[in-house]
């Protein structure tokens, strides 16, 4: 059975810049992703950004992208959210949404 538009699965990588380390950004991202039923991961980078991957139904992934662009954790200040390598996938490649140390 074909999935409805917006229900097909996509995978997208992200990198968020700004004041995003030391402000529980990863924890909030994980909570938001789980709330939306998404899988993937999030980690701090050595150059002060937060990066990761999101997978799930297109409509839900778009919601988290918007959240990463505009909301973040309460004390964060997001200057930029970049998304790359977006592609359709036939199945989720992660079991849950993890914080990678």
Residues with a known catalytic role: 26, 44
Q: Note whether 33 and 39 are within 8 A (CB).
A: yes
Rounded to whole angstroms, the Cα distance separating 67 from 64 reads: 5
Q: Note whether 92 and 55 are within 8 A (CB).
A: yes
Rounded to whole angstroms, the Cα distance separating 96 from 99 reads: 10
Phi, psi of 50, rounded to the nearest 5 degrees: -120, 135
């Amino acid at each position: 059975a074909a999935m409805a538009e917006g229900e097909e699965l996509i995978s997208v990588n992200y990198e968020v810049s700004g004041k995003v380390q030391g402000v529980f950004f990863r924890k909030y991202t994980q909570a938001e992703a789980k709330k939306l039923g998404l899988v993937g991961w999030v980690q701090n980078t050595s150059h002060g950004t937060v990066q990761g991957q999101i997978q799930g139904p297109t409509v839900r992934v778009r919601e988290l992208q918007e959240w990463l662009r505009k909301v973040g954790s309460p004390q964060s200040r997001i200057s930029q959210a970049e998304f790359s390598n977006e592609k359709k996938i036939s199945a989720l490649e992660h079991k849950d949404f993890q914080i990678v140390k």
